[in-house]
Amino acid sequence: GAVVSQHPSWVICKSGTSVKIECRSLDFQATTMFWYRQFPKQSLMLMATSNEGSKATYEQGVEKDKFLINHASLTLSTLTVTSAHPEDSSFYICSARGQATYEQYFGPGTRLTVT
Amino acid sequence: KQEVTQIPAALSVPEGENLVLNCSFTDSAIYNLQWFRQDPGKGLTSLLLIQSSQREQTSGRLNASLDKSSGRSTLYIAASQPGDSATYLCAAPNSGTYKYIFGTGTRLKVLA
């Protein structure tokens, strides 16, 4: 149980375009999901907290107009990278928080390359 | 703000050795602490979750302890195997929240 999926697993896009990444909790409901990014050989940095039915809260330094987050249902959160630039190239990972133990379950990640 | 540190940054050991990975955190007002494993280019696999009221958790060859008063957690790996080679991350929540702050990880290599 407690499986989180992400789609796509990797994506290449041209500079200036937008890319949407989906995060789904497959066998449990998640009122809270988190989005992280990871640069090569670095640890994970929290970008934003996604709450079902309300606006996401962004960490300091993260541009909310660039990284649009939508959490429309208890099993789906999406991250849209708008007007992508090469510096947005990174590994994006989502997690969903279980309601009982507050353990976080992580997705397999999405590797974004902007050319 | 919570800061999480992991030592050593890298570790290379022969197969069969028992290992201790260390995680330190600055703010002890945490709800829980979680240990993860990350293989190259992959997402995170949860290994152990320790609630603030617990002192340790065990799963197979893995044992994690938590000492909130000293701001430390250790991950003990018994009888290491080459398949244990990965980066191990610990994460502790920012004070009074469930937002995880991750350590920089320990890159483990177990030699056959």
Rounded to whole angstroms, the Cα distance separating A25 from A9 reads 15
Query: A21-34 pLDDT, tens per residue?
Result: 999 999 888 889 99
Please give the DSSP secondary-structure letter assigned to residue B85.
Answer: -
CB-based contact A42 B100, cutoff 8 Å: no
Tokens for A91, please give them.
Answer: 């590994």
> What 3-state class would DSSP assign to B84?
helix
Query: A63-100 pLDDT, tens per residue?
Result: 999 999 998 888 999 999 999 999 999 999 999 987 77
pLDDT at residue A101, rounded to an integer: 65
Which residue is listed with tokens 């994006």? A92
Residues of B whose CB is below 8 A from A104: 34, 46, 91, 98, 100
Q: B90 with B30: CB under 8 angstroms?
A: no
Which residue is listed with tokens 């044992």? B63
Model confidence at A18: pLDDT above 90 = yes
Categorize the per-residue pLDDT at A46 as very low, low, confident or very high, splitting at 50, 70 and 90: very high
Which residue of A lies nearest to B90 if distances are taken between CA atoms? Answer: A43
pLDDT at residue A30, rounded to an integer: 87
Q: Which amino acid is at B17?
A: E
Query: B33-60 pLDDT, tens per residue?
Result: 999 999 988 888 999 999 889 999 999 9
Taken in order A72, A74, A76, A81, the sign of the CA dihedral is positive
